[in-house]
Amino acid sequence: MNSFNPTLPNWLSRCAERVPDHLAVRCETLNWTFAELDQQASYLALQLATFGAGERSRVALVAANGPVYVACVHALTRLGAVLVPLNTRLTLEELRWQVQDVQATFLLYDERYTGLANAIMQDTPRLRCIKLLVQASNVLAIASDERNQRLRSYEELSISAAALRMVIDLDAPQVIMYTSGTTGHPKGVIITYGMQWWNAISSALNLGHRADDCWLACLPLFHIGGLSILMRSVIYGISVIVQERFDAVAVNRAICEDGVTIVSAVAVMLQRMLGALDKGRAGYPSTLRCVLLGGGPAPRTLLEECAWRNIPVAQTYGLTESCSQAATLSPWDALRKPGSAGQPLLPVQLRIVCDGRPAAPGEHGVIFLKGPTITPGYVDRPVETAQALRDGWLCTGDIGYLDADGYLYVLDRRADLIISGGENIYPAEIENVLLSHPDVEEAGVCGLSDPQWGQIPIAFIQARIGSIIDADSLLAYASQLLARYKLPRAIHFVDQLPRNAAGKLLRRELPRLLQ
C-alpha cells in the first residue's frame, strides 16, 4: 500500500511556468512578473546558501514591507529554511529575546534596519547577519563579516541551482511567527505550508477567485494577515500590491486607480480610509469586490456606514494560530448578519464550549478550532502546546457564540473579560456604544481592580478633531444603550490609543495611560 507524500510543486515556480508575464508584485515603482519574481527568489536563495543557510535553518528577518521582504519569503521556501519575521515595532530587548528564544542562526535585514540588526547581533554572537539590498531591481545579499566579497551573478550561481527545492512539503514549517503579545509573553507559533495551502483554498471557495484579482497588502508582512496575502498570490496566480506602511490616502488611491479588487484591513484602518475619501465620492469603484475586515469585532456604526456607501465588507475571525482566517462572513451575508464573523471556512471545525460542555445557540463560551489550518503547536514549548491543543482542538481564549443558523459572533478575548460583581462585561460591547457617538474617533475599555466589585470598567476616548465632548455627556449617551453595571466608572480622554502594528487595540496597555 502506497503512503501519501503531502508535497506539491513549488507554487511560485508553477506560476512562472503558467503565467510568466503576469504581474506578481508591485512595490511602489518596482514591478515583478511571476517569471521575474521566480528568478529573484532563486538568485537570493543561492546567495543565502553560499553563507550556509539551508534546510530547517531558522532565519530571522527584520525589514520593511517591500521587494526585499517578498523575495526573502520565497527564497527561504527554495531552501527549506524557516522564516522568523520580526515585528519592527517591538523594543530592542523584545527582539533580542525572540531571536534567542527561537535559536535563530541567521538574521537578515534591509538597509533601513542596519543599526537595529547590529544591536541585536551584539548579544547573540553566533548569529550570522546578512544585509539584503536592492540594486538594479535585483535583491543582493551581503554578509556583515564579508562586505568585500565579490557578489556573483545569477549565471555564476545557477550552476548549483539543482540544490534548490522545487517541491513544497505541506507538513514542513514555513514560518515561526511570534504572537502579537496582546495577551502577555509571546510564543512562537509554527505555521506550516499545509496551513497556508488550506487557508488559501478555503478562502477562495468562500470569496470566489478571479484571474484578474489584485490584492492590496497594506498590513505588516511580519503579521499573519500580511504574510498570508503573499502566499495566496502564488497559490492563486494573482497580483499583489505591497505598500510599505498603511496610509489611508495611498490605500484609497490604489483602490481607485490601480485596480485593487481585495484589501485586508482592521476596523481602525477602514475608518481612516473612509475619512480620507475624496469629497463627493460616496464609496469605492465596483472593481473593489471585498474588504476583508479582521482584528476583532467591528463597530456596528462602521458596518452601517459601509452598507450605506455600498462598500463590500466581509468580517473575519482568525488568529496567528489559525493562519489568518478561520471564519469569514460571505459578502452576500454582510447585511443579513451584521456584526457576525460568519461561518467557519470549509476545512475548519468550530465549537463553543461553556463550563466544559458544548454551548447552546446564543450561549457565550470559549471558541475552539480544529482542522488543517490550525497550528501543530508552539516552537520548543511542549507545555504551552499541550495547554492550547486538546485532542486536536485549539483553545483560542476568545469568547463568542453561535446563533441558531451557525454564524459566529466574537465578543472578546477571555483575557480582556471584565468580571464585576459576578457579571461578565465585554469591553468590545462598551466600545461599540461609545464609538457610535458622533464625536468619538476611537475608544478602548479595560477593567480596573476594585475592592467592592472585583473589577470596574473604565474607558479611554480619542475624540474627533474639532469636537467638543466631555465625560458626563458621553456617559449620559451611553446610559441609554448600556445596562448600568456596564457603564464605565471613569472616562479618560487621550491623544492616542495603544495599538500593535496590525492595528489591534492593546487593552492590556490601557492602564498605563493613567500614569
Where would I find the beta strands (DSSP E) of 387-508? Answer: 389-390, 393-402, 408-413, 418-420, 423-425, 440-450, 454-463, 490-493
For the ranges 162-166, 202-206, 308-312, the lowest mean pLDDT is seen at 162-166
- Residue type for position 124: T
Residue (of 417, 427, 425) closest to 397 by Cα position: 417
Contact between 106 and 54 under an 8 Å Cβ cutoff? The reply is no
pLDDT band for position 2 (50/70/90)? very low
Q: What is the pLDDT of residues 32-72, one digit of tens each?
A: 999 999 999 999 999 999 898 999 999 999 999 999 999 99
What average pLDDT does the segment 307-331 reach?
Answer: 91
Judged against a pLDDT cut of 50, whether residue 484 lies above it is answered with: yes
For the ranges 439-448, 464-473, 499-508, the lowest mean pLDDT is seen at 499-508
CA torsion through residues 158, 23, 171, 220, sign? positive
Residue (of 354, 385, 377) closest to 367 by Cα position: 354
pLDDT band for position 5 (50/70/90)? low
- What percent of the chain clears pLDDT 90, i.e. is strictly above it? 67
Judged against a pLDDT cut of 80, whether residue 322 lies above it is answered with: yes
The CA-atom distances, in angstroms, between 245 and each of 28, 249, 270, 320 are 11, 11, 14, 20
Judged against a pLDDT cut of 70, whether residue 184 lies above it is answered with: no
Contact between 240 and 217 under an 8 Å Cβ cutoff? The reply is yes
Non-local CB neighbours of 445 within 8 Å, separated by 6+ positions: 418, 427, 428, 430, 431, 434, 457, 458, 459, 460, 488, 507, 510
Q: So what's the pLDDT on residue 204?
A: 94
Contact between 87 and 220 under an 8 Å Cβ cutoff? The reply is yes
Pick the more confident residue, 388 or 159: 388
Instruction: Indicate the angle between helix axes 300-308 and 427-435, nearest 10 degrees.
Output: 50
Residue (of 285, 208, 275) closest to 248 by Cα position: 275
Contact between 396 and 369 under an 8 Å Cβ cutoff? The reply is yes
Q: What is the pLDDT of residues 208-236, one digit of tens each?
A: 999 999 999 999 999 999 999 999 999 99
Query: Can you list the domains of the chain with their CATH numbers?
Result: 7-169 (3.40.50.980), 192-414 (3.40.50.12780), 417-514 (3.30.300.30)
Q: So what's the pLDDT on residue 4?
A: 57
Mean pLDDT of the chain: 90
Judged against a pLDDT cut of 90, whether residue 371 lies above it is answered with: yes
CA distance 229 to 227: 5
Q: What is the pLDDT of residues 65-88, one digit of tens each?
A: 999 999 999 999 999 999 999 999
DSSP 499: B
> Residue with C-alpha cell 504581474?
23
What average pLDDT does the segment 190-207 reach?
Answer: 96
Contact between 214 and 241 under an 8 Å Cβ cutoff? The reply is yes
Pick the more confident residue, 287 or 501: 287
Contact between 425 and 457 under an 8 Å Cβ cutoff? The reply is yes
Pick the more confident residue, 263 or 335: 263
Paired sense of beta strands 365-370 and 357-358, if any: unpaired
What average pLDDT does the segment 391-411 reach?
Answer: 93
> Residue with C-alpha cell 467592592?
452
Q: What is the pLDDT of residues 268-307, one digit of tens each?
A: 889 899 999 987 778 899 999 999 998 777 788 888 888 8
Judged against a pLDDT cut of 90, whether residue 335 lies above it is answered with: no
